[in-house]
Structure 1
Amino acid sequence: MGARNDQDLEQVFEKIKLLLNDLKYGSITIVVQDEKVIQIEKNEKVRLK
């Protein structure tokens, strides 16, 4: 893994951390193609009490 890939991976981790901090109920899906993360999906559930 080269420096560029490490930098790309760090950006992915930072984005996932931001999404996790904002998520109370739901899921995060990471889509990988050709060994690269091409998409991050956030599905959020809204709980009504």
Structure 2
Amino acid sequence: MLNKNEAIYIEELKKLIEKIEYGSITITIHNNEITQIDATEKKRFDKPKNNN
């Protein structure tokens, strides 16, 4: 059974995973506890083709 904090962490991670198309999620742990969750989203743009 998950404690209250663990349930919050899992819910937050699920939201981030569903939102990010390209990127990364970093979990920071201190003294066996999650202290921070960082999400970095990347935007990709196709290079325009040169039609000359």
TM-score between the two structures when normalised by the length of structure 1: 0.85
Percent of aligned pairs with the same residue?
Answer: 30
Radius of gyration: which is bigger? 2
Which has a greater percent of helix?
Answer: 1
TM-score between the two structures when normalised by the length of structure 2: 0.80
Runs (4+) of structure 1 exceeding 3 A deviation are none
What is the count of residue pairs matched by the alignment? 46
Which ranges in structure 1 are unaligned for 5 or more consecutive residues? Answer: none
RMSD: 1.5
